[in-house]
Structure 1
Amino acid sequence: MLWSSSLASIVVLAASASAQLDGAQSPPSYPSPWMRGGNGWQDAYAKAQAFVSQLTLLEKVNLTTGVGWEGEACVGNTGSIPRLGFRGFCLQDSPLGIRFADQASAFPSGMNVAATWTTRLFKSRGRAMGDEHRGKGIDVQLGPVAGPLGRVPAGGRNWEGFSPDPVLTGVAIGETIKGIQDGGVIANAKHYIMNEQEHNREPSGSFAAYSANVDDKTMHETYLWPFADAVHAGVASIMCSYNQINNSYGSQNSYTLNYLLKNELDFQGFVVSDWWAQHTGVASALAGLDMTMAGDQGLASGNTYWGGNLTAAAINGTLPQWRLDDMVTRIMAAYYKVGRDTARVDVNFNSWSSETYGYIHPQANEGYQQINYHVNVQSDHAKLIREIGGASTVMLKNVNNALPLKKPKSVAVIGEDAHDNPGGPNACGDRGCNTGTLAMGWGSGTANFPYLIAPVTALRAQAAKDRTLFANVSNNYDLDAAAKAASNASVAIVFANADSGEAYITVDGNSGDRNNLTLWGNGDALIKKVASVNPNTIVVLHTVGAVIVEDLKNNPNVTAILWAGLPGQESGNAITDIIYGYRNPSAKSVFTWGKKREDWGVDVIYTPTSNPPQLNFNEGNFIDYRYFDANNIEPSYEFGFGLSYTNYSYSNLQISKNDPGPYQPTVGMTKAAPTLGTIDKDPAHAEFPTGFRAVFKYIYPYLTGPVLTNQPESWPAKSQDGSPQPRVGAGGSAGGNRQLWDVMYTVSCTVTNTGGVKGTEIPQLYLSLGAPTDPKIVLRGFDDLILDPGESNTFTYKLTRRDISNWDPVTQNWVISPYPKTVYVGASSRDLKLKGVLP
């Protein structure tokens, strides 16, 4: 990493839009901005400062450092402050439920809730998850996800996030955060930033983690965009990614943490490392890291970069007191911001054992006591999960009204994906297998199912109700049995899937990222066989993202295709609601379906050719539909596409211009960094107390050796400077300059249900920014309109200054280019029914 200081170096490097090259460097930015308590953080900041002012040095360090893997009940635990009766923080996966817990819900994936395009459901899901985490005693829910955004369709963890479109992801992550934090739990937006594939995301052997090399314009207009929305929504914590960004690790990248996040976006919460993503001690603190997880340097190592080492750095002055105080203030302000001081209950579950009694320190086998209280936090969330499951099911094909079914004489349900895992839905730890129906991917982003309704269960119940003859075949490789069952049925419903997850688990040879974009478990051959004998074959896909479906689309015997994604515990009930018309499909695809793998233009880099591996994001802003549009590639199904059991018309486009005044960059200077209380710099007072018995491999703040002084190490320029600093022109408010949210235009149109069934239409607003280097169109707004047959309603969207601006790397600010800007409104990114030029 470069250590030369000054904004000039940032501008020069950022101005080079072709910087996506091997060896691209992340410019330095110091000092780390100190919290100021603005943007609705005032009360939390005041409470946090009062709390931190009374802490000793050891107590401050204890709140920044995890106690080590399996040190206590949660996947992440900081030290506590026994003197004040303040327990440490509990941080727990995942973005779709409570990992490792019982009596809790398994929600649909982020990708699924995005497919509803319904802000009410975004926030309701967030609130339900927040309520459940609060009920288990968790302080920080490790989610939601905007990284990976979804640059490559085979990316293993794309399903944890929302969509490769930054605007859809930005709206979804913002509303999810509001819901979680309304529940009294700190939301954690992750993984910041450019964590776009699983292969080589972490150091392994002699190989360093990959470097995602990206130019400044792409960073702002695509990958940083949803994180800006997260900060604008008030997110209280953000997690660093494992990878490098322009050859500097995410947990010590001063440009992405200090400059982009804490300065430009004015983030007021705390930054936590991903588990063992920290690679330096004091350097990471100076670069903007506020909390380290799991606290140990490696899995159960017993060593730490912080803990006693951070205490020593504060004593010898390497880490200035203002920086340590800022770290702890940010952590405690997040605590007060979401009301943890009134919402907190004792941690009543345990990540490491499902038994009622066990060790509170399982790594050391110490502290045998009751560790699980089996508190049921599910409430009535099953109803919401079923609603989202149905509202996120995209109907891609429906020939001659094959759907909905109306009491057919006979039904054959075929495919392993329709059936239960014989070992139960939680048979594989962290869902690390693909047996039975797929309702979530694998990895740390999972939760235990309290139950899982398989499609065959719900469809069999419906058939019994209708007195429909019912047959089912679960073996994907017994094509003869499948054909026999299908040939005798009025309708054959074939289920197939494609799975992926986090890299620490390999399933069927797929190490996190998918090896291909085909269906798993002989799914393609199974569908082809069934369709060869049944002219009314309906296909249901549970996949983590796009798969190649062109043959299915063109097969005349495949009369309907439904994408159900990863719908969570109510999977079978949700898909039955759609198939039988209890719910009218309204979902729209949140990614593009290419005809072949090469259509996306980018792919996972499976085998590194350099050390560290260099992932050059040369496509810039052109990912997913933007790449397809720019290269005139016809997809099987476009971004935003989805059919309904009714029809809609669009008319009466209206555009009105507002005049909020000219854009004013933020100017002025910050206040000097505050220090809170005094710290005792006597090393003798920071040693383990006499007679203290340390828990094995537990991380403490006490010194473990002599405090070194007068070291020759040269720290980055200004990294220890607590004097007033210039404010950033594009910053000054949550998510960026406050004028970015000025309303520039109001766009409206009329949407009418012209069919005979009540339904929900998702009008989508796209914008052409006009420059030859811009994507043809970019999504800017959407809504969900519930319409009775013949009913009309108005879709309205307020275009902000941010919506119509581009990032200028030279001035380091947002500018409105002189090119003409055109608005499109329609039912998908390629079904643009209305068009108007912004005056």
Structure 2
Amino acid sequence: MLFRFSPALIAQENYETKIEEFISKMTLDEKIGQLIQRIGVNEEIEKSIREGKVGSLLFGIHSPEEANRVQKIAVEETRLGIPLLFANDVIHGYQTIFPIPLAEASSWNPELIKKACEIAAFEAASDGTNWTFAPMVDIVRDPRWGRIMEGSGEDPFLGSIISSARVKGFQGDGPANGTGLKDKTKIAACSKHYVAYGGAEGGRDYNTVDISERTLHEVYLPPFHSAVNSGVASIMSAFNDLNGIPASGNYFTLTEILRNEWKWDGVVISDWNSIGELVKHRFAKDKNDAALKGFTAGVDIDMAGDTIDGNIYSPNLKNLVEQGLITVEQINKSVRNVLRMKFKLGLFENPYTDIEFFKKNNLEKSYKDSIALQLAKESIVLLKNENNLLPLKKEIKSIALIGPLADNPEDVMGVWSAAGKPDDVITVLKGIENLIGDNTKINYVKGCNINDNDTSGFNDAIQSAENSDVVILVVGEEREMSGEAASKTDLNIPGIQEELIKRIYETGKPVVVVLMSGRPLTINWVSENISAVIEAWFLGDQTGNAIAEVLFGDYNPSGKLPVTFPRSTGQIPIYYYQKSTGRPFIDKEKYTSRYLDSPNSPLYPFGYGLSYTSFSYKNIKVDKNRIDKDDFVIVSADVSNTGKFEGEEVVQLYIQDEVSSVTRPVKELKGFQKIKLKPGETKTINFKLIPYMLSFLDKDMKRVIEPGKFNVMIGGNSIDLISTSFEVIE
């Protein structure tokens, strides 16, 4: 007999009641099936779906027709008709490829990032995906770690703002109960990797993480809490161990914090076989023990547990019930979480992808491209512009365009490019051709490859430079040099590209270096010797158009670094909100916190980025000199465009607690606004500092606001700031 519920009835009744009805009728095998995620689609998996032993699929669904065919098996050929979740890695676009997330963070424009995620959700949903494993919200202070490209950089405040924007972009702006997910154009988000995965020792992927509980709460948890407050449907447990306990078997983080403290009722899914890997951590003695420890810690769904090293939740959860080590009610609790997510997505009412709806309501390509272009432009960071070499004049007679990334549609997409196609990518060569017309001769030469020692193209590149008025060198990383399992100890520009830059520099021609990478690179020689340097990251489909508009002044660059650029790997980890220490750095005094062979300062600081115009900051004020602990203070400053171009500026607010019962960072970001000013225009920018922004965890890990003096600073990066102060009183 089939136990079914009409869509109309389900729509009318509270889904929590319906969840309990389902659970009351499910066998143990069917319940465990909801906690199993299989990889791809084949005959064996389809058989398991019919038997109610699969709750979700990762990959294998590449069209709405295929999604509906497989969904029909679950809905119409199983005993209870529970629909499947179809998951995918929609990281920075689906068909339209946007800049990599680290680049998007350089825009400091959460509303624009949200729009990009809305487009990605629409495209993915139209192809049958209803669950993405994004956003990655790991805070990263070590650029050796390849997955830095997938997040929003080093700062928990900025990271939390962008975390919320991405979740709302994928899922909609509905309340935290997830009702916005029923929109056909939305998909469930999954914040990852919970937690502190970005703190891997040595920047080596999957490596151990050993941090204080204070650092966990103040640095690594806030972007996840922001996602939870924004209604994120799911969270992914990480590969790493955290202070001796693997993240995918960590009751403290998965249950005590996530469930008990934050009162979150979404789905926790493991990373790829991360429960099975509890055995390799030597935290579990076998797969059965791994299933016990992962499940009782709080992981609902076992991802990829059917791989050769997996087979974790199936069959071991049933074995554990039979052994009396877990209860059916514990299984029911996780099943509730999974069914709740499916109800929030509206899958019980509308389990199929509405092909006709998406055909009739498809987003215009021109709109999608316009958002991709604007976000790409705002993601570009101008690092250096000596003697105002940029912007270039469109009337220039000849340009040497040199480098292995100048006409490379594959690498500029970045990793995790989903259903994107290189044919849709505008390369730098094509973008410049599109913009400047036929009056300028473009002498394009590849020059060298990204990562080998073949110098056979050098002579042609040098000749191209000598025969041109200006040189644009487009260099950097292959896209697979960043991302998962892409840690590096050498952050120099790969291969012989820097040698090529030096040979071109020797021609005496003006040189612009456009750097493409998934992480900060160590570019000391380039920074010291090349007149104009742009960090372009990997910008996706609109790469060439965005870079061309910046190079020739159609767009005035406004990007700001979301992560510090080190001078060398020896400085890592380096980030702006470090502590003072008992012996702060003093120049020329040996017994202070310093290096013998390097400045302490970064090559480029957090929040840094130049413009073709200039901005001045004056008249910083607070509206109250003294406040009590429950009050707020308004901080203001006048920002003026003192240059010749209209431009955008990211105005940044930092605070410093001058004396506290535990040591605090030298400064902490607490606000930012992106503004546009015409030449000669001045705006007064106001920030509201609420009590929570002044609080911290005391020695007993209790959140407090202590009386005393607070310094407040406003400026265009984390170093060049004007300041004032106010006092908090008892």
| TM-score, length-scaled by structure 1 | 0.70
Give the Å deviation of 1:85: 2.9
Select 1:461's aligned residue among 419, 434, 437: 434
Q: Which deviations, in whole Å up to 9, do the C-alpha atoms of 1:5-57 show, x marking residues without a partner?
A: xxxxxxxxxxxxxxxxxxxxxxxxxxxxxxxxxxxxx9765665565455443
Residue 373 of structure 2 corresponds to 386
Residue 543 of structure 2 corresponds to 571
Q: After superposition, where does 1:298-697 map in structure 2 within 5 Å?
A: 299-300=307-308, 304-314=311-321, 317-339=324-346, 345-346=352-353, 379=365, 380-406=367-393, 407-420=395-408, 425=410, 437-440=411-414, 442=415, 448-449=421-422, 451-465=424-438, 467-476=439-448, 477=455, 478-499=457-478, 501=480, 512-555=486-529, 558-601=530-573, 633-656=600-623
Give the Å deviation of 1:308: 3.7
Q: Alpha carbons of 1:305 and 1:462: their partners in 2 closer, same or farther (altered >3 Å)? A: same
Amino acid at match of 2:58: C
Residue 11 of structure 1 corresponds to none
Give the Å deviation of 1:233: 1.5
Q: Which deviations, in whole Å up to 9, do the C-alpha atoms of 1:76-113 show, x marking residues without a partner?
A: 89995623433221111131134xxxxx1222111011
Segment of structure 1 superposing worse, 823-832 or 528-537: 528-537
Matched, 1:805 2:724: no
Give the Å deviation of 1:324: 2.0
Provide structure 2 residue ranges, at least 5 long, that are not aligned to the other structure. Answer: 1-12, 46-56, 62-70, 173-184, 277-289, 449-454, 587-592
Q: Alpha carbons of 1:638 and 1:198: their partners in 2 closer, same or farther (altered >3 Å)? A: closer
Distance 2:508 2:615 in 1: 31
Q: Alpha carbons of 1:819 and 1:550: their partners in 2 closer, same or farther (altered >3 Å)? A: farther
Give the Å deviation of 1:494: 0.5
Residue 64 of structure 1 corresponds to 35
Q: Which deviations, in whole Å up to 9, do the C-alpha atoms of 1:399-452 show, x marking residues without a partner?
A: 22211111211111000110136xxx3xxxxxxxxxxx5331x46989554622
Amino acid at match of 2:459: D
Counterpart contact for 1:137–1:344, Cα < 8 Å? no
SS at 2:313 equivalent: coil
Select 1:287's aligned residue among 283, 289, 297: 297
Q: Which deviations, in whole Å up to 9, do the C-alpha atoms of 1:105-147 show, x marking residues without a partner?
A: 2221110110000121121122112212221221211111122
Amino acid at match of 2:562: V
SS at 1:396 equivalent: strand
Distance 2:482 2:458 in 1: 32
Amino acid at match of 1:75: F
Give the Å deviation of 1:237: 0.5
Q: Which deviations, in whole Å up to 9, do the C-alpha atoms of 1:485-511 show, x marking residues without a partner?
A: 112211100011124658998xxxxx6
Counterpart contact for 1:90–1:138, Cα < 8 Å? yes
Q: CA RMSD in A?
A: 3.4
Segment of structure 1 superposing worse, 329-338 or 220-229: 329-338
Residue 826 of structure 1 corresponds to 715
Residue 175 of structure 1 corresponds to 165
SS at 1:395 equivalent: strand
Amino acid at match of 1:455: V
SS at 2:694 equivalent: coil
Matched, 1:124 2:12: no
SS at 1:783 equivalent: strand
Amino acid at match of 2:371: L
Amino acid at match of 2:490: N
Counterpart contact for 1:486–1:492, Cα < 8 Å? yes
Counterpart contact for 1:443–1:502, Cα < 8 Å? no
Q: Alpha carbons of 1:837 and 1:587: their partners in 2 closer, same or farther (altered >3 Å)? A: same
SS at 2:424 equivalent: coil
Q: Alpha carbons of 1:339 and 1:125: their partners in 2 closer, same or farther (altered >3 Å)? A: farther
Q: Alpha carbons of 1:340 and 1:749: their partners in 2 closer, same or farther (altered >3 Å)? A: farther
Counterpart contact for 2:93–2:116, Cα < 8 Å? no
Q: Which deviations, in whole Å up to 9, do the C-alpha atoms of 1:718-749 show, x marking residues without a partner?
A: xxxxxxxxxxxxxxxxxxxxxxxxx7333233
Give the Å deviation of 1:482: 1.3
SS at 2:37 equivalent: coil
Counterpart contact for 2:91–2:416, Cα < 8 Å? no
Distance 1:306 1:646 in 2: 59
Give the Å deviation of 1:343: 6.8
Give the Å deviation of 1:837: 3.0
Residue 9 of structure 2 corresponds to none
SS at 1:67 equivalent: strand
Distance 1:554 1:519 in 2: 15
Q: Which deviations, in whole Å up to 9, do the C-alpha atoms of 1:580-616 show, x marking residues without a partner?
A: 111111101111122222122479xxxxxxxxxxxxx
Residue 6 of structure 2 corresponds to none
Segment of structure 1 superposing worse, 107-116 or 279-288: 279-288
| TM-score, length-scaled by structure 2 | 0.80
Q: Alpha carbons of 1:200 and 1:657: their partners in 2 closer, same or farther (altered >3 Å)? A: closer
Q: Alpha carbons of 1:549 and 1:819: their partners in 2 closer, same or farther (altered >3 Å)? A: farther
Give the Å deviation of 1:342: 6.1
Q: Alpha carbons of 1:528 and 1:305: their partners in 2 closer, same or farther (altered >3 Å)? A: same
Distance 1:817 1:64 in 2: 46
Counterpart contact for 2:622–2:724, Cα < 8 Å? no
Counterpart contact for 2:148–2:483, Cα < 8 Å? no
Over the matched positions of the two proteins, sequence identity in percent amounts to: 28
Matched, 1:195 2:174: no
Q: After superposition, where does 1:99-138 map in structure 2 within 5 Å?
A: 104-138=95-129
Q: Alpha carbons of 1:398 and 1:816: their partners in 2 closer, same or farther (altered >3 Å)? A: same
Q: After superposition, where does 1:73-88 map in structure 2 within 5 Å?
A: 74-75=58-59, 80=74, 82-88=78-84
SS at 2:38 equivalent: coil
Higher relative contact order, structure no. (Cα contacts within 8 Å, ≥ 6 residues apart): 1
Amino acid at match of 2:442: F
Task: Count the aligned residue pairs.
Answer: 638
Give the Å deviation of 1:475: 2.5
Give the Å deviation of 1:523: 1.6
SS at 1:91 equivalent: strand
Distance 2:324 2:79 in 1: 26
Distance 2:96 2:189 in 1: 18
Counterpart contact for 1:61–1:311, Cα < 8 Å? yes
Give the Å deviation of 1:241: 0.9
Q: Alpha carbons of 1:503 and 1:96: their partners in 2 closer, same or farther (altered >3 Å)? A: closer
Distance 2:417 2:397 in 1: 44
SS at 1:271 equivalent: strand
Counterpart contact for 1:70–1:300, Cα < 8 Å? no
Segment of structure 1 superposing worse, 783-792 or 519-528: 783-792
Give the Å deviation of 1:653: 2.7
Query: Would you tell me which structure has more helix in proportion to its own residues?
Result: 2
Select 2:640's aligned residue among 732, 742, 752: 752
Q: Alpha carbons of 1:211 and 1:446: their partners in 2 closer, same or farther (altered >3 Å)? A: farther
Select 2:86's aligned residue among 90, 115, 118: 90
Q: Which deviations, in whole Å up to 9, do the C-alpha atoms of 1:335-354 show, x marking residues without a partner?
A: 34455556754499xxxxxx
Residue 724 of structure 2 corresponds to 835
Distance 1:822 1:801 in 2: 15
Amino acid at match of 2:572: W
Residue 33 of structure 1 corresponds to none
Residue 151 of structure 1 corresponds to 141
Residue 66 of structure 2 corresponds to none
Counterpart contact for 2:619–2:637, Cα < 8 Å? yes
Distance 2:18 2:725 in 1: 50
Residue 740 of structure 1 corresponds to none
Give the Å deviation of 1:480: 1.7
SS at 2:325 equivalent: coil
Distance 1:150 1:174 in 2: 18
Distance 1:275 1:780 in 2: 35
Distance 1:620 1:756 in 2: 33
Distance 1:795 1:53 in 2: 58
Distance 1:45 1:225 in 2: 29
Residue 251 of structure 1 corresponds to 248
SS at 2:374 equivalent: helix
Residue 669 of structure 2 corresponds to 779
